[in-house]
Amino acid sequence: MTKRLKIAVQKSGRLHEDSLQILQDAGIVLEKSKDQLKATAKNFPLDILYLRNGDIPQYVNDGVVDVGIFGENLLVEKRLNLPILLQLGFSKCSLCVAIPKEQNFTELKDLNTKKIATSYPNTVQDFLKKENLTADLHTISGSVEIAPNIGLADAVVDIVSSGNTLFKNNLKPVYTILKSEAVLVASPSIPSILQATLNQLVFRIESVLNARNYKYILLNAPNKNIDQIVALLPGMKSPTLLPLAQEGWSSLHSVIAEEDFWNVINDLKKAGAEGILVSSIEKMVR
């Protein structure tokens, strides 16, 4: 019987759907599970375990599961030195210091001797030590933002995504301790027999991530301006050129980072590019 790779993903919450989606985009078809505690892939030697987000790092560290998907901030909080295989690009957030809107903040020393509420005591303790600060920490599980309103703390340190929760609780972020996103992390004790399977999983997910970050671009241009346009669109190696029926014109095909497209669109038009089409890429293998 083929040994199967075990991957842990969040049972419910903001990472759950995106974690399953990236596996699906990587061509992995999952069987439906009634209890949703475990699912088996139909076409890949992979079992998915649905676990509480805060427990996943320790399960990965202990070798209970081979790999896990969770927020990078948990690695810092758990003080675990686990190898990050891939940054997955979703569930991006920041761990921020926030204070009441009416208060002033000019430098980190303003936090000295303050009462700080947080669900990330280890991260905050390490931060305070690094910055040579002293504060009174109150560890709270959930609803950290309410602490200043009830007089429990002068400031909070919590995960911030959109900032809406802080705003609703009359708080403002004043300092970012760290930035985080979902990561694929491997166990230090993964069996050697599963290494090839893990490599294939990483290869598939990496191809999906590459495709999400790039766009396929097609345009028509006069041959006399091709060199100028090529300089604006350096593809993975070089753009593909195909002659058009209209003499003196070519069709140019390339790949461009999505974040770069809007920065060069006007330059492309000035260089004579016409009929510019941009489309998504489903997979991109380098």
Averaged pLDDT, 44-52: 95
**Long-range contacts of 110-116, Cβ-Cβ distance < 8 Å, separation of 24 or more:** 111/135, 111/155, 114/153, 114/154, 114/155, 115/152, 115/153, 115/154, 115/155, 116/153, 116/154, 116/155, 116/156, 116/157
Of 210, 259, 205, 193, which Cα lies nearest the Cα of 23?
A: 205
CATH code, residues 5-90+182-190? 3.40.190.10
In this model, does residue 82 exceed pLDDT 70?
A: yes
Task: Please determine, for residue 34, whether its predicted confidence score (pLDDT) is greater than 60.
Answer: no
**CATH entry, 93-180, from 3.40.50.150, 3.65.10.10, 3.40.190.10, 2.60.40.2310:** 3.40.190.10
What type of residue is 86? Answer: L
More confident residue, 261 or 181: 181
Token readout for 74 is: 């948990």
Domain limits, the chain:
5-90+182-190, 93-180, 214-280
Distance of CA 184 to the CA centre of its chain: 10
Question: 93 pLDDT exceeds 90?
Answer: yes
5-90+182-190 and 214-280 in the same fold: no
> Dihedral, CA atoms, 18, 35, 7, 160, nearest 10 degrees?
40
**pLDDT bracket for residue 215 (50, 70, 90):** confident
Handedness of CA 39, 41, 45, 48 (dihedral sign): negative
What would the two tokens of residue 112 be?
């000295």
- Look up the CATH architecture of domain 214-280: 2-Layer Sandwich (3.30)
Q: Is pTM beyond 0.75 here? A: yes
Query: What token pair was written down for 77?
Result: 């909080």
Whether residue 35 is predicted with pLDDT greater than 70 in this model: the reply is no
Rounded Cα distance, 63 and 187, in Å:
6
Query: How confident is the model over 111-153, as pLDDT tens digits?
Result: 999 999 999 999 999 999 999 999 999 999 878 999 998 989 9
- The pLDDT confidence band at residue 26, using thresholds 50, 70 and 90, is very high
Report residue 249 CA to chain centroid gap. Answer: 41
69 within 8 A of 7, measured Cβ to Cβ: yes
List residues bridging with 35 in a β-sheet: none
